[in-house]
Structure 1
Amino acid sequence: MKLEMTLPERPSFLHALPILDLLALVMLFPVLTAALAPQAGVEVELPETEFRLQRVANPIVLSVSGGSEPEYWVGKQRVEREALMSVVAERAGDWNEGGRPAVLLKVDKSAQSLGMELSFELLREGYRCLWGAKLAQ
Protein backbone atom coordinates (compact mmCIF):
# COMPACT_ATOMS: atom_id res chain seq x y z
CA MET A 1 0.00 0.00 0.00
CA LYS A 2 1.46 3.29 -1.07
CA LEU A 3 0.84 6.40 1.03
CA GLU A 4 -0.08 9.53 -0.84
CA MET A 5 0.28 13.09 0.37
CA THR A 6 -2.98 15.02 0.44
CA LEU A 7 -1.36 18.45 0.39
CA PRO A 8 -0.44 20.03 -2.89
CA GLU A 9 3.18 20.02 -3.92
CA ARG A 10 3.83 23.60 -2.70
CA PRO A 11 1.32 24.72 -0.07
CA SER A 12 1.80 28.48 -0.45
CA PHE A 13 -0.34 29.54 2.52
CA LEU A 14 1.88 27.57 4.92
CA HIS A 15 4.99 29.35 3.64
CA ALA A 16 3.31 32.74 4.10
CA LEU A 17 2.61 32.33 7.85
CA PRO A 18 6.14 33.24 9.05
CA ILE A 19 6.04 36.35 6.85
CA LEU A 20 2.74 37.39 8.40
CA ASP A 21 4.23 36.97 11.88
CA LEU A 22 7.17 39.14 10.89
CA LEU A 23 4.88 41.83 9.47
CA ALA A 24 2.84 41.85 12.69
CA LEU A 25 6.02 42.42 14.71
CA VAL A 26 7.19 45.17 12.37
CA MET A 27 3.86 46.94 12.83
CA LEU A 28 3.92 46.45 16.61
CA PHE A 29 7.35 48.04 17.29
CA PRO A 30 6.42 51.62 16.24
CA VAL A 31 3.31 51.45 18.42
CA LEU A 32 5.31 50.38 21.47
CA THR A 33 8.16 52.83 20.96
CA ALA A 34 5.73 55.76 20.65
CA ALA A 35 4.25 54.85 24.03
CA LEU A 36 7.71 54.70 25.64
CA ALA A 37 9.03 57.94 24.13
CA PRO A 38 9.36 61.02 26.33
CA GLN A 39 6.23 63.15 26.38
CA ALA A 40 7.89 66.54 26.27
CA GLY A 41 10.81 67.97 24.36
CA VAL A 42 13.45 67.70 27.08
CA GLU A 43 14.33 65.06 29.65
CA VAL A 44 14.48 66.30 33.24
CA GLU A 45 15.38 64.58 36.49
CA LEU A 46 12.23 64.86 38.57
CA PRO A 47 12.25 65.01 42.38
CA GLU A 48 10.83 62.08 44.33
CA THR A 49 7.50 62.17 46.15
CA GLU A 50 5.14 59.79 47.91
CA PHE A 51 2.02 61.39 46.44
CA ARG A 52 0.28 60.59 43.17
CA LEU A 53 -0.54 63.26 40.63
CA GLN A 54 -4.19 63.76 39.85
CA ARG A 55 -5.15 62.79 36.32
CA VAL A 56 -5.85 65.59 33.88
CA ALA A 57 -6.67 65.01 30.24
CA ASN A 58 -4.18 66.68 27.87
CA PRO A 59 -2.42 69.16 30.17
CA ILE A 60 -0.07 71.79 28.81
CA VAL A 61 3.37 70.29 29.56
CA LEU A 62 5.96 72.88 30.58
CA SER A 63 9.48 71.48 31.14
CA VAL A 64 12.45 73.28 32.67
CA SER A 65 15.90 71.75 32.35
CA GLY A 66 18.62 72.19 34.94
CA GLY A 67 22.07 73.66 34.61
CA SER A 68 23.53 77.14 34.46
CA GLU A 69 21.41 78.08 31.41
CA PRO A 70 17.99 76.44 31.92
CA GLU A 71 15.92 75.66 28.85
CA TYR A 72 12.14 76.10 28.76
CA TRP A 73 9.97 73.77 26.72
CA VAL A 74 6.22 73.88 26.12
CA GLY A 75 5.37 70.43 24.83
CA LYS A 76 8.07 69.72 22.26
CA GLN A 77 8.69 73.37 21.41
CA ARG A 78 11.68 75.20 22.89
CA VAL A 79 10.69 78.65 24.13
CA GLU A 80 12.62 81.64 25.42
CA ARG A 81 11.78 82.77 28.97
CA GLU A 82 10.36 86.11 27.79
CA ALA A 83 7.86 84.43 25.42
CA LEU A 84 6.94 81.58 27.77
CA MET A 85 3.68 82.96 29.15
CA SER A 86 2.43 84.00 25.70
CA VAL A 87 3.05 80.49 24.33
CA VAL A 88 1.25 78.95 27.32
CA ALA A 89 -1.65 81.39 26.77
CA GLU A 90 -1.76 80.37 23.10
CA ARG A 91 -1.93 76.69 24.06
CA ALA A 92 -4.57 77.48 26.70
CA GLY A 93 -6.71 78.98 23.95
CA ASP A 94 -7.03 75.46 22.51
CA TRP A 95 -8.08 74.05 25.92
CA ASN A 96 -11.42 72.26 25.65
CA GLU A 97 -11.33 69.92 28.63
CA GLY A 98 -13.51 72.12 30.85
CA GLY A 99 -12.48 74.25 33.80
CA ARG A 100 -9.29 76.24 34.03
CA PRO A 101 -6.41 75.13 31.79
CA ALA A 102 -3.99 72.77 33.55
CA VAL A 103 -0.23 73.18 33.23
CA LEU A 104 1.98 70.21 34.14
CA LEU A 105 5.34 71.50 35.36
CA LYS A 106 8.26 69.14 34.88
CA VAL A 107 11.14 70.89 36.59
CA ASP A 108 14.63 69.46 37.01
CA LYS A 109 15.83 68.90 40.59
CA SER A 110 18.49 71.57 40.22
CA ALA A 111 15.99 74.23 39.04
CA GLN A 112 13.36 74.00 41.78
CA SER A 113 13.48 77.74 42.54
CA LEU A 114 12.69 78.53 38.88
CA GLY A 115 9.80 76.10 39.06
CA MET A 116 8.38 77.86 42.11
CA GLU A 117 8.58 81.24 40.34
CA LEU A 118 6.86 79.77 37.28
CA SER A 119 4.11 78.17 39.35
CA PHE A 120 3.36 81.46 41.15
CA GLU A 121 3.27 83.27 37.82
CA LEU A 122 0.96 80.63 36.30
CA LEU A 123 -1.34 80.73 39.33
CA ARG A 124 -1.59 84.53 39.05
CA GLU A 125 -2.61 84.11 35.39
CA GLY A 126 -5.40 81.69 36.41
CA TYR A 127 -3.95 78.30 35.42
CA ARG A 128 -4.04 75.10 37.45
CA CYS A 129 -0.46 74.03 38.26
CA LEU A 130 0.49 70.38 38.57
CA TRP A 131 4.02 69.40 39.55
CA GLY A 132 5.42 66.29 37.92
CA ALA A 133 7.53 64.05 40.17
CA LYS A 134 8.53 60.41 40.29
CA LEU A 135 7.16 58.16 42.99
CA ALA A 136 9.57 57.29 45.82
CA GLN A 137 10.23 53.60 46.09
Structure 2
Amino acid sequence: MKLESHLPKQSPWLYTVPLLNTILLLLVYFLLTSNFVVQSGIKVEHPESSSRLTGFDRAHIITVPAGLENAVYFDGVRSSTAELRERLKANREGERRAIIHGAKQAPHGRVIEVGNIALELGYEVAYSTVPPKS
Protein backbone atom coordinates (compact mmCIF):
# COMPACT_ATOMS: atom_id res chain seq x y z
CA MET A 1 0.00 0.00 0.00
CA LYS A 2 1.47 3.30 -1.08
CA LEU A 3 1.30 6.26 1.34
CA GLU A 4 0.43 9.62 -0.12
CA SER A 5 0.79 13.05 1.42
CA HIS A 6 -2.26 15.26 1.48
CA LEU A 7 -0.25 18.42 2.25
CA PRO A 8 -0.14 21.05 -0.46
CA LYS A 9 3.06 21.27 -2.50
CA GLN A 10 5.34 24.11 -1.37
CA SER A 11 7.16 26.44 -3.69
CA PRO A 12 10.94 25.87 -3.92
CA TRP A 13 11.44 29.57 -3.05
CA LEU A 14 10.21 28.81 0.42
CA TYR A 15 13.42 26.86 1.07
CA THR A 16 15.93 28.90 -0.96
CA VAL A 17 15.17 32.35 0.47
CA PRO A 18 16.29 31.50 4.04
CA LEU A 19 19.39 29.82 2.63
CA LEU A 20 20.29 32.92 0.61
CA ASN A 21 19.57 35.12 3.63
CA THR A 22 21.97 33.07 5.77
CA ILE A 23 24.68 33.15 3.09
CA LEU A 24 24.38 36.94 2.73
CA LEU A 25 24.53 37.46 6.50
CA LEU A 26 27.69 35.34 6.74
CA LEU A 27 29.23 37.23 3.84
CA VAL A 28 28.53 40.60 5.47
CA TYR A 29 29.81 39.32 8.82
CA PHE A 30 33.15 38.15 7.38
CA LEU A 31 33.60 41.29 5.29
CA LEU A 32 33.05 43.58 8.26
CA THR A 33 35.09 41.63 10.79
CA SER A 34 38.13 41.16 8.55
CA ASN A 35 39.23 44.74 9.36
CA PHE A 36 39.61 43.90 13.05
CA VAL A 37 42.18 41.14 12.58
CA VAL A 38 45.46 43.02 13.05
CA GLN A 39 44.44 45.99 15.13
CA SER A 40 46.26 46.17 18.41
CA GLY A 41 43.80 48.10 20.58
CA ILE A 42 46.33 50.88 21.21
CA LYS A 43 45.66 53.90 19.00
CA VAL A 44 48.71 54.94 16.99
CA GLU A 45 49.14 57.01 13.84
CA HIS A 46 50.99 54.79 11.36
CA PRO A 47 53.49 56.02 8.77
CA GLU A 48 52.52 55.75 5.10
CA SER A 49 53.89 53.15 2.67
CA SER A 50 52.71 51.71 -0.63
CA SER A 51 54.10 48.21 0.08
CA ARG A 52 51.91 45.29 1.13
CA LEU A 53 52.74 42.12 3.06
CA THR A 54 50.59 39.02 3.49
CA GLY A 55 50.83 35.99 5.74
CA PHE A 56 50.86 37.69 9.14
CA ASP A 57 47.28 36.73 10.05
CA ARG A 58 47.91 35.33 13.53
CA ALA A 59 51.02 37.29 14.42
CA HIS A 60 51.73 38.86 17.80
CA ILE A 61 51.10 42.60 17.94
CA ILE A 62 53.79 44.83 19.46
CA THR A 63 52.82 48.50 19.78
CA VAL A 64 55.21 51.40 20.36
CA PRO A 65 53.12 54.54 21.01
CA ALA A 66 54.39 58.10 20.84
CA GLY A 67 54.82 60.25 23.92
CA LEU A 68 54.96 57.56 26.59
CA GLU A 69 58.49 57.02 27.85
CA ASN A 70 59.64 53.43 27.29
CA ALA A 71 56.07 52.17 26.78
CA VAL A 72 55.65 48.99 24.76
CA TYR A 73 52.48 46.91 24.44
CA PHE A 74 52.64 43.18 23.68
CA ASP A 75 49.25 41.89 22.47
CA GLY A 76 47.58 44.83 24.24
CA VAL A 77 49.37 44.42 27.60
CA ARG A 78 51.80 47.15 28.69
CA SER A 79 55.34 45.86 29.16
CA SER A 80 58.87 47.04 29.66
CA THR A 81 61.63 46.00 27.28
CA ALA A 82 62.74 43.20 29.63
CA GLU A 83 59.14 41.96 30.03
CA LEU A 84 58.69 42.07 26.25
CA ARG A 85 61.76 39.86 25.81
CA GLU A 86 60.44 37.37 28.40
CA ARG A 87 56.96 37.28 26.84
CA LEU A 88 58.41 36.70 23.38
CA LYS A 89 60.55 33.87 24.77
CA ALA A 90 57.50 32.32 26.47
CA ASN A 91 55.47 32.42 23.24
CA ARG A 92 58.12 30.86 21.00
CA GLU A 93 56.17 27.59 20.67
CA GLY A 94 53.21 29.42 19.08
CA GLU A 95 53.17 31.74 16.10
CA ARG A 96 56.67 33.08 15.42
CA ARG A 97 55.65 36.29 13.69
CA ALA A 98 55.31 39.80 15.05
CA ILE A 99 53.75 42.96 13.64
CA ILE A 100 55.20 46.15 15.09
CA HIS A 101 52.78 49.07 15.26
CA GLY A 102 55.15 51.98 15.64
CA ALA A 103 53.51 55.39 15.92
CA LYS A 104 54.54 57.98 13.37
CA GLN A 105 55.83 60.23 16.18
CA ALA A 106 57.47 57.43 18.20
CA PRO A 107 61.27 57.55 18.43
CA HIS A 108 62.64 55.58 15.48
CA GLY A 109 65.37 54.05 17.61
CA ARG A 110 62.78 52.68 20.04
CA VAL A 111 60.80 51.03 17.23
CA ILE A 112 63.95 49.46 15.78
CA GLU A 113 65.07 48.30 19.25
CA VAL A 114 61.77 46.46 19.74
CA GLY A 115 62.08 44.92 16.27
CA ASN A 116 65.63 43.76 17.01
CA ILE A 117 64.48 42.04 20.21
CA ALA A 118 61.95 40.02 18.22
CA LEU A 119 64.48 39.26 15.48
CA GLU A 120 67.06 38.05 18.01
CA LEU A 121 64.53 35.56 19.36
CA GLY A 122 63.83 34.12 15.90
CA TYR A 123 60.61 35.95 15.03
CA GLU A 124 59.66 37.21 11.58
CA VAL A 125 59.00 40.94 11.90
CA ALA A 126 56.76 43.26 9.87
CA TYR A 127 56.31 46.98 10.47
CA SER A 128 52.75 48.23 10.23
CA THR A 129 51.98 51.10 7.84
CA VAL A 130 48.96 52.60 6.08
CA PRO A 131 48.53 53.15 2.33
CA PRO A 132 49.28 56.69 1.10
CA LYS A 133 46.37 59.08 0.71
CA SER A 134 45.71 59.75 -2.94
Equivalent in the alignment of 2:107: 112
Structure 1 residue 41: Cα displacement: 2.5
Q: Which amino acid aligns with 2:100?
A: L
1:64 aligned residue: 64
| Offset of residue 107 of structure 1 | 0.6
Segment of structure 1 superposing worse, 66-75 or 41-50:
66-75
Residue aligned with 1:109, SS: coil
Q: State the Cα distance separating 1:88 from its structure 2 match.
A: 1.4
Residues 44-100 of structure 1 deviation map (CA, whole Å, 9 limit, x = unaligned): 32112354558667543312233446753333x4132242111111222325xxxxx
Gaps of 5+ in 1: 1-7, 96-100
Q: How far apart are the structure 2 equivalents of 1:27 and 1:51? A: 30
Structure 1: how far apart are the matches of 2:114 and 2:102?
Answer: 10
TM-score by length of 1: 0.63
Q: Bigger radius of gyration, 1 or 2? A: 1
1:134 counterpart letter in structure 2: V
- In structure 2, C-alpha distance between the alignment counterparts of 1:70 and 1:38, rounded to whole Å: 26
CA 1:29–1:53: 2 relative to 1, 3 Å: closer
Identical residues among aligned pairs (%): 17
Find the residue that maps to 1:110 and give its secondary structure.
coil
- Give the count of matched residue pairs: 124
Displaced runs of 4 or more, over 6 A: none
Q: Structure 2 unaligned runs (5+)?
A: 1-6
C-alpha separation in 1, matches of 2:14 and 2:121: 64
1:15, 1:53 → 2: CA distance? 45
- Change over 3 Å in CA distance of 1:23–1:64 after alignment to 2: same
Q: Which is helix-richer, 1 or 2?
A: 1
Q: CA offsets, 1:29-54, max 9 Å, x none?
A: 32222312141422432112354558
Residue number in structure 2 paired with 1:133:
129
Compared CA separation, residues 15 and 104, structure 1 to 2 (3 A): closer
